Structure 1
Amino acid sequence: MNALAFRSADVLAALAQMDSDERTEWVALVKRAAANLSNAEYAWAGNAPDAQPDPDTWAANFFWLGTYQLAHALEQVTQEA
């Protein structure tokens, strides 16, 4: 299933089937994705002028990583449902 073609009910059903450790790992992945997206927003807001190789590339890399991680997390649970 496409990671973007999910329903919240699918996510909830998959999470309900996970044991506590699996849910903890999944939540950690979503938190890392959110942190990376937050880093991108921080840089694009002009708060990382010294970022290397430049602020826009730095932000784009964090944005890509965060969206990739979020898509992976959603794919995990939608495959389970």
Structure 2
Amino acid sequence: MTALAIPASILAALTLADPSWRPILLAGLEAVAAADPAYLPALAVDDYLPTEGRLFAAFALPIDAVEYVLVGEGPYPRA
């Protein structure tokens, strides 16, 4: 799977993540694209939160400065 399968707007959102997170996040995006090729393109044209390219803003701290990562749907549930 290549980054070409990931919409440009989602790849651009990675710039808010610290560089130490980017390979991990990109691998996750590639796994999502491999599992469901239609999901990321549909997400890119849909309304979702957080808005304005802040999809990965939670990863702004360097990975070595983070002790815990809580993964879940909230506070931004999708209908």
| Shorter-chain TM band | 0.3 to 0.5
TM-score by length of 2: 0.32
TM-score by length of 1: 0.32
Whose radius of gyration is greater, 1 or 2? 1
Q: Which has the higher contact order (CA 8 A, sep 6+)?
A: 1
